[in-house]
Structure formats: C-alpha cells, structure tokens
C-alpha cells in the first residue's frame, strides 16, 4: 500500500482592533473589556438584535481587512456585500450571524507560500460558559465584535507548514496592528481541515475546532492523520464532520456532522448597503499601500542583505525593541562588524533585559555607547567577557565606555610580556596539568586559557594567552 499524503486547509478567525463593534457603537477597545469584565454590560439593542434596530458598517473594520489583503497581494473586491448566515445557537442573539458569502472583501493572494482563498468580514459571537453544572450562561459583551476570517486553499501538507503559516499570519496581523492575534486570549482562532489520501484525489476532510495554541494545532493535525489512516487501513471510511480538540487528553472528538452552505440559507442582509469599494477614496489601492508598514518578510530580506544570520533575523522579527535598537546600531557600526554587533544584541543585551524581567531594554545605554563598545572589541582592547561587563554597566548605570573600562580594569591585556609572566606563574602552580598537556592531553590547553582569563579578571586576550601558553608548554 502506498503512503498516505495529508492535505490541510486552514480557516483562521481574528478579532479586529477597532474602537467600536462591527455594526453598533458599543466599545471594542480592549480597555472596554478590562474595565468592564461584568458580563452583558457592553451591549446595545443593535448587537442584541432587537427588532427595529438598524446595523451600520464599521468602516475601520473594512479598512483593516483590506489592509491585510493588500499585504498578502490579494485581489480587493470591487463590489462587496454582507450576508445573513442563519442558524440558531444561544450565542447569536439575532438568530443569524452577519457574514460574507458570495462577495468577500478579499480573494486570492498568498502568505508564507500558502495560497489564500479569501478573507472576509463578519461579527463575533457571544461567549457561552457551561461551568455552572446544570445550566449554561451567556455573556454578550463579545457579540458583534468585528471578526476577520481568512481561508486558505487546501495546499498545506504537514503540521509544521500549517503552524508556520499560522505564525506568519499572527505576525502580519500584529505588524499591521490589525489584531492582537493572541491565541490564548481567543483573539486569533485556528480551525484545521484535514484529509488524507493515497491516490491523486482528495480524501474526505474533517474540520477540527477549539484549538487555542500553535502547539495544539500541530498536535491535532498529527492526531487526525493517525486516526484517519487507521480507519482507512481497517477498510472503513472517514466521516465528514466537525471535531473538537480536547486539550487535556490531546485527542479530537466528534462534535457534529458537517452542515452544508445551503443549510445556512445565506442571503444578502437587507439592512446593510452594498459597497462598491472602488468608489471609496480611502480604500483605493494607492492609499492602502501607502499605509502599510514594513512587513516581516521585507524585514527578513533587508536584514539578510546586511549579512545578518537567520537565527538573529528571527529574533528581530519577533522582538520589536531589539529590532529598533538594531536599526539605530546599524547606522553607526561599519558593515563588516554588523554581525558582531548583532551577536551582542541578540545574546548579551537580550540576556541582560531578561534578567531585568523585560523583553528588551537598553536602560541608560545609548546606541553610541554600544558602538564604542564594539570598536573596543574589534580593536582587541576589550575581550568578549569584558564587553559583557561593559554592557551590563551601560544598561544599568550609563556612562562612557572608556571610563567603565578604566574603572573596572577591563582593558584587554595585549602585552605579550605581561601575559607571559602571568602564564609562567600559572604553569608553575599546575605542574600536573602542564605535564599532562605535554604528554598529549591537548584539552588541557583550554584549562590554562581559563586560568589565564581568571588571573587577568577577564581582561586577557584569549587568543594571545593561547599562543603564549602553547609556546611555553612546548
């Protein structure tokens, strides 16, 4: 039997950052939730679907979806409309959700090598909680929050690829400041569609919901692959259905058989105007393009062209503070030393920041000070150990690099005579190690270098120490 190949398509929802909800004036700023945790207080007759009320389209929410579509080089719709997706569930007060069906705002395009089907705009549901045992509670504060839905083509073939796509989308949404996109907070929700097949045609797909982390998405995919494969190998078939992800047991479980689009009786919402996007000046492609920031992929390419190594690039992509500092440093440090400078940012400065409980901080250090420090390292007058001391001091206390080197006695000792004296002393005090080295135990050289660095309080030039020690031990 030939191997099964897995096919995955993603449907990702993201709550948009706007001042107000999708079709009413209720607040949607995160502050509104934080100060307003009390259930059912951030609601009004419109988002509660009371009869006789009229929804109004939130222009900013539309703009944000168009911005994402512009960043993914997708097609922005000329004509668009909102539809009612009819179904009953306690978390949708109107008995339908306003969504988009036939004419999504955005279609096509790609991200991280994955082709997109569409991106449309809809409204979020309320939150149900079933913690009370025999009864359930519904909090409508979230009902009507603008929600973007992005659908990919079924072109993904591994859990890693799926997770990579979802992470890239999260980054993009955060760079564009379109959504907080925090999965744990439910600001971004990933649903995976998975099928497997050992022929040229697609297998029956299963949709998995309730995934609240990238890790869970990967695990759910791997679990489904195994489950579907076992079914097919037994000669059974995969049922097209919606399954949930059980975070504790790390399994998927059947929730309901999949409804078809026509079960929802989609039809254009008669209360909302249809939009001709091309007639709206703020939504012209020029205006949208002009409001794009530098995107993660562009940033990667720029850093790569400067000769920065990939692991550092990913640090900058994910750490805004480090990235901003690097950009300032890049203006002062000559290009041949930029990777060296980057090493100190991604290891030492981030290390110091973490020890201070922050993602990134330069404290009292100016980019100019950092540049001076690099000059000393390049000239050989400051060792890498000394450099770390200088950085801690700069961040914590500020000051000039020259002064810190003097005060702390960090000037790297490059005087061969002085190093020779120190090493002769060390060799004299460690006759067994010296003997061992002479008898072929070469790893003992590192011991002597370590002792030399210790004796010079980290200010010895390790290369020089190594060279002199080798000569002395001949």
Write out the binding residues for ligand ADP, residues 166-195 only, by CB under 6 A.
193-195
**DSSP secondary structure code for residue 337 in this structure:** G
Of Zn ion, ligand ADP, none, which one sits near residue 194, judging by CB under 5 to 8 A according to partner kind?
Answer: ligand ADP
Helix axes 310-318, 296-305, angle to 10 degrees: 140
- Cβ neighbours around 437 below 10 Å, total: 20
> Length of the chain, please?
474
Closer by beta carbon to Zn ion, 56 or else 473 = 56
Of ligand ADP, Zn ion, none, which one sits near residue 47, judging by CB under 5 to 8 A according to partner kind?
Answer: Zn ion
Residue 24 touches Zn ion, criterion: CB under 5 A: yes
Chain-centroid distance of CA 395 in Å reads 27
Backbone angles phi, psi at 147, to 5 degrees: -130, 130
Closer by beta carbon to ligand ADP, 166 or else 464 = 166
* Nearest distance from C-beta of residue 225 to ligand ADP, angstroms: 11
* Nearest distance from C-beta of residue 156 to ligand ADP, angstroms: 8
* Nearest distance from C-beta of residue 113 to ligand ADP, angstroms: 15
Residue 151 touches ligand ADP, criterion: CB under 6 A: yes
Residue 26 touches Zn ion, criterion: CB under 5 A: yes
Residue 47 touches Zn ion, criterion: CB under 5 A: yes
- Non-local (6+) Cβ contacts of 65 within 8 A are 16, 105, 106, 119, 120, 121, 148
Write out the binding residues for Zn ion, residues 175-214 only, by CB under 5 A.
none
Binding flags for ligand ADP, 201-220, as an x/- string (CB under 6 A):
-x--x---------------
Pick from 447, 430, 328, 348: which is nearest to 389 by CA?
348
Distance, in Å, from the CA atom of 464 to the CA atom of 420, rounded to the nearest integer, reads: 9
Sign of CA dihedral 211, 212, 213, 219: negative
Sign of CA dihedral 256, 261, 262, 266: positive
Distance, in Å, from the CA atom of 293 to the CA atom of 450, rounded to the nearest integer, reads: 48
Residue 350 touches ligand ADP, criterion: CB under 6 A: no
Residue 115 touches ligand ADP, criterion: CB under 6 A: no
Of Zn ion, ligand ADP, none, which one sits near residue 26, judging by CB under 5 to 8 A according to partner kind?
Answer: Zn ion
Residue 242 touches ligand ADP, criterion: CB under 6 A: no
Of ligand ADP, Zn ion, none, which one sits near residue 173, judging by CB under 5 to 8 A according to partner kind?
Answer: none
Distance, in Å, from the CA atom of 70 to the CA atom of 293, rounded to the nearest integer, reads: 11
* Nearest distance from C-beta of residue 131 to ligand ADP, angstroms: 31
Residue 44 touches Zn ion, criterion: CB under 5 A: yes
Distance, in Å, from the CA atom of 182 to the CA atom of 213, rounded to the nearest integer, reads: 9
* Nearest distance from C-beta of residue 11 to ligand ADP, angstroms: 5
- Cβ neighbours around 136 below 10 Å, total: 12
Stretch that binds ligand ADP, among 2-10, 103-111, 317-325, 357-365 (CB under 6 A): 2-10
**Residues in touch with Zn ion (CB under 5 A):** 24, 26, 44, 46-47
Residues lying near ligand ADP in the complex (CB under 6 A) are found at: 7-11, 151-154, 193-195, 202, 205, 261
């Amino acid at each position: 039997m030939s191997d099964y190949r897995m096919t995955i398509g993603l449907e990702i929802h993201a709550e948009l950052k706007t001042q107000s909800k999708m079709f009413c004036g209720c607040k949607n700023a995160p502050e509104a939730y934080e100060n307003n945790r009390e259930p059912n207080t951030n609601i009004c007759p419109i988002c509660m679907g009371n009869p006789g009320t009229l929804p109004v389209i939130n222009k900013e929410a539309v703009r944000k979806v168009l911005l994402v579509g512009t960043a993914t080089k997708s097609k922005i719709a000329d004509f668009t409309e909102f539809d009612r997706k009819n179904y009953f569930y306690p978390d949708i007060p109107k008995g339908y959700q306003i969504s988009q069906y036939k004419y999504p705002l955005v279609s096509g395009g790609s991200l991280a090598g994955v082709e997109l089907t569409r991106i449309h705009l809809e409204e979020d549901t309320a939150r149900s909680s079933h913690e009370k045992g025999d009864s359930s509670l519904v909090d409508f504060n979230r009902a009507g929050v603008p929600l973007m839905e992005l659908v990919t083509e079924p072109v993904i073939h591994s859990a890693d690829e799926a997770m990579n796509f979802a992470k890239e989308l999260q980054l993009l949404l955060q760079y564009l400041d379109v959504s907080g996109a925090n999965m744990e907070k439910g600001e971004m929700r990933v649903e995976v569609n998975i099928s497997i097949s050992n022929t040229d045609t697609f297998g029956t797909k299963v949709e998995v919901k309730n995934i609240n982390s990238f890790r869970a998405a990967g695990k759910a995919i791997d679990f489904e692959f195994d489950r579907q494969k076992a079914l097919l190998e037994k000669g059974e078939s995969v049922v097209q259905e919606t399954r949930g992800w059980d975070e504790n047991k790390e399994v998927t479980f059947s929730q309901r058989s999949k409804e078809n689009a026509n079960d929802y009786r989609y039809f254009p919402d008669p209360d909302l105007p249809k939009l001709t996007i091309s007639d709206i000046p703020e939504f012209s492609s020029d205006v949208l393009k002009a409001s794009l920031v530098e995107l993660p992929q562009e940033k990667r390419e720029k850093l790569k062209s400067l000769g920065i190594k990939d692991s550092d690039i990913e640090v900058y992509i994910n750490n805004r503070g480090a990235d901003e500092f690097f950009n300032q440093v890049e203006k002062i440090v000559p290009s041949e030393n930029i990777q060296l400078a980057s090493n100190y940012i991604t290891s030492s400065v981030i290390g110091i920041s973490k020890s201070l409980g922050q993602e990134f901080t330069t404290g009292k250090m100016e980019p100019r000070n950092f540049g001076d420090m690099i000059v000393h390292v390049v000239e050989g007058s400051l060792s890498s150990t000394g450099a770390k001391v200088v950085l801690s001091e700069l961040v914590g206390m500020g000051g000039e690099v020259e002064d810190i080197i003097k005060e702390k006695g960090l000037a790297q000792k490059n005087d061969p005579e002085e190093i020779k004296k120190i090493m002769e002393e060390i060799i004299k005090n460690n006759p067994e190690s010296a003997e061992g080295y002479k008898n072929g135990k070469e790893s003992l050289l590192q011991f002597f270098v370590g002792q030399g660095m210790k004796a010079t309080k980290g200010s010895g030039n390790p290369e020089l120490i190594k060279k002199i020690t080798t000569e002395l031990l001949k």
